[in-house]
Amino acid sequence: MGTFPFSALVFACLAALLGLRFGLEAWVPTAEAESEAPSKEAGSVMVVPPKPEGLAAAPGAGSGEGQSTMLTPAMCATMIADLQDTCWQALARQTAAADPQEALRQCQKISGEELRYECRADVSETLAPAHRDEAVALCKEIDSVKWRGQCNFGVGLALAETDPEWAVARCEDAEAFKTFCRHDVVGEISLVNVTAAVTICARNEGDTLTRKTCWHGPGKYLARRDMGEAAAFCRQADPQWQGLCFHGLGWGAAERDPDAALAGCAAFGEFADNCRHGVANELKRSDPQRETAICESLTNPEAKAKCLAFVTQ
Amino acid sequence: MQRAALAAAAVALLAGGGVAAWRALHPPPPSPAEKPLDQRAYGETTDKEREDWMRKLGYVD
């Protein structure tokens, strides 16, 4: 056999392998697509927000007494397929305080994986006020990082009023939601114990983001109830983060009444712009034109730039 | 000599093709940075990612 036929063999091998390589790539696009899709989401916004603030309790949540309808397993089992998962979740919450193991069994009947994890987190949260260690143990058993974090977040919120230090410590296990957790847990604490909230934030624990959002939380939570109360809290904040606290104040007050919030901001002197900035940001979803107008009216150039940047985000 | 070089090239091509085929059938798992933020452990998130996320939701100015 001469050189030419052997070269032909080599080139035939090359062609076959290249064909195999690209053919396989085209044939198995799903595996690669699955690994690429999340990067797009992670790079843009976020996928699932933390627990919404002020969300109404589900039927049967909390005490297990239920507000309107007491669900039963028979009701969930006979419900139309689209509603069954939601029914099992509500039933699990209703059952959690009295019989957590039974509640977990009800969670297992949920067909959707995400909702099944959420259900377990709900059971822990409901159980936490009376059986905190058991609740933490249940959180640890959740094998989804996201829902394990949410579970600890929820358990922290459940104890915020009764044991502030323990509640804030739960945030250490809230994974990606850690800073959200501290923000909201300290916010909840401030509603019943302003001194405890000031004490926790004044310790300046954690990274910069953790330290500054600690002051933002109570500003927002207290302003939902009373702007004056929130302003008194913000005046006690670390001077470095007072402006941020007033931003939270503006946001929280605007959730109730944007006009009253703007009028109230005028009384805060050097922090008036921070407050108006918070009002503008809160209006992003409901009234973007007004948001822009408020941003344009800010006198502090840095606040104005940040405010306008948020408009286009 | 030429034949030996060609034979070596053919072996290298086969090996390379095998690796490429294996990678196409078994893509590596996504790195932490490719996962959605909320599905990562705290240590797998950066300061900037967390701050941008919080800003969008009104937790920081």
Structure tokens at B2: 């030429």
Identify the residue whose tokens are 């195999």: A20
Q: Do B34 and A25 touch (CB under 8 A)?
A: no
Mean pLDDT of A209-232: 97
CB A111 within 8 A of CB A137: no
Report CB contact under 8 Å: B10, A9: yes
pLDDT at B7: 74
Distance of CA B20 to the CA centre of its chain: 15
**Whole-angstrom distance, CA of residue A181 vs CA of residue A174:** 7
Domain ranges of chain A: 80-159, 179-313
The whole-number pLDDT of residue A135 equals: 98
pLDDT of residue A69: 77
Summarize pLDDT for A105-145 with one digit per residue, the tens: 999 999 999 999 999 999 999 999 999 999 999 999 999 99
Residues A207, A238 contacting (CB under 8 angstroms): no
Q: Residue A165: count other Cβ atoms within 10 Å of its Cβ.
A: 11
- Residue carrying structure tokens 């998130």: B45
Distance from CA of B54 to the nearest CA of A (A): 7
Buried b (16+ CB within 10 A) or exposed e, A201-216: beeeebeebbbbbbbb
Provide, as residue numbers in chain A, all residues whose Cβ is less than 8 Å from the Cβ of B49.
Answer: 42
pLDDT band at A48 (very low <50, low <70, confident <90, very high): very low
What's residue B1's pLDDT? Answer: 65
| pLDDT score, position A113 | 95
pLDDT at residue A86, rounded to an integer: 95
Mention every residue, 6+ apart, whose C-beta is less than 8 A from residue A183: A213, A214, A216, A217, B54, B59
Min Cα separation A75/chain B (Å): 33
B15 touches chain A (CB under 8 A): no
Cα–Cα distances (Å) from A53 to A142, A154, A188, A221, in that order, read 23, 11, 10, 9
What predicted TM-score, i.e. pTM, was given to this entire model? 0.76
Distance CA A215, CA A246 (A): 9
B21: closest chain A residue by CA? A21
Please give the C-alpha separations between residue A65 and each of A91, A131, A172, A225, in angstroms, as whole numbers.
11, 17, 31, 27
Segment A266-313, tens digit of pLDDT: 999 999 999 999 999 999 999 999 999 999 999 999 889 999 999 988
CA atoms within 13 A on the CB side of A267: 11
- Which residue in chain A has the smallest CA separation from B35? A38
Q: Calculate how close chain B gets to A49, using CA atoms only, in Å.
A: 8
The distance of A167 to chain B (nearest Cα, Å) reads 18
CA distance A232 to A119: 39
**Other Cβ atoms within 10 Å of B23 Cβ, number:** 13
Average pLDDT over chain A reads 86
Question: What's the CA gap between A232 and A246, in Å, rounded?
Answer: 10
Q: Tell me whether residues A14 and B35 touch, CB distance under 8 A.
A: no
Distance from C-alpha of A52 to C-alpha of A241, rounded to nearest angstrom = 24
Q: Which residue of B has its CA nearest to A310?
A: B56
Share of chain A above pLDDT 90, in %: 75
What's the pLDDT score for residue A22?
A: 64
- Residues A101 and A293: their CA atoms lie apart, in Å, by 54
pLDDT single digits (tens) B2-60: 777 777 777 777 777 777 777 777 666 666 667 999 999 999 999 999 999 999 898 99
pLDDT band at A56 (very low <50, low <70, confident <90, very high): very low
Contacts of A55 (CB under 8 A, 6+ apart): none
Alpha-helical regions (H) of chain B: 2-25, 47-56
Contact yes or no for A139/A151 (Cβ under 8 A): yes
> How many contacts, defined by CB atoms under 8 Å, are there between A and B?
140
A176 and B10: CB-CB below 8 Å?
A: no
Contact A59, A67 (CB under 8 A): yes
Contact B38 A36 (CB under 8 A): no
For B21, other C-beta atoms within 10 Å of its C-beta total 16
A1 CB-near residues (< 8 Å, 6+ apart): none
pLDDT higher than 90, residue A64: no
Contact criterion met (CB below 8 Å) for A191 and A221: yes
Per-residue pLDDT at A60: 43
Q: Which residues of B touch A5 (CB under 8 A)?
A: none
Q: Which two tokens stand for residue A255?
A: 């959730």
Residue B27, classed as helix, strand or coil, is coil
pLDDT band at A89 (very low <50, low <70, confident <90, very high): very high
Q: What is the pLDDT of residue B28?
A: 63
The two three-digit tokens of residue A195, written as one number: 């001194």
Q: Which residue of A has its CA nearest to B22?
A: A21
- Asked if the Cβ–Cβ distance from B30 to A282 is below 8 Å, we say no
Nearest CA in chain B to A37: B34
Of the pLDDT bands very low, low, confident and very high (cuts 50, 70, 90), residue A62 is very low
Residue A9 has pLDDT above 70, yes or no: no
pLDDT score, position A57: 44
Q: Per the CB < 8 Å rule, is A39 touching B30?
A: yes
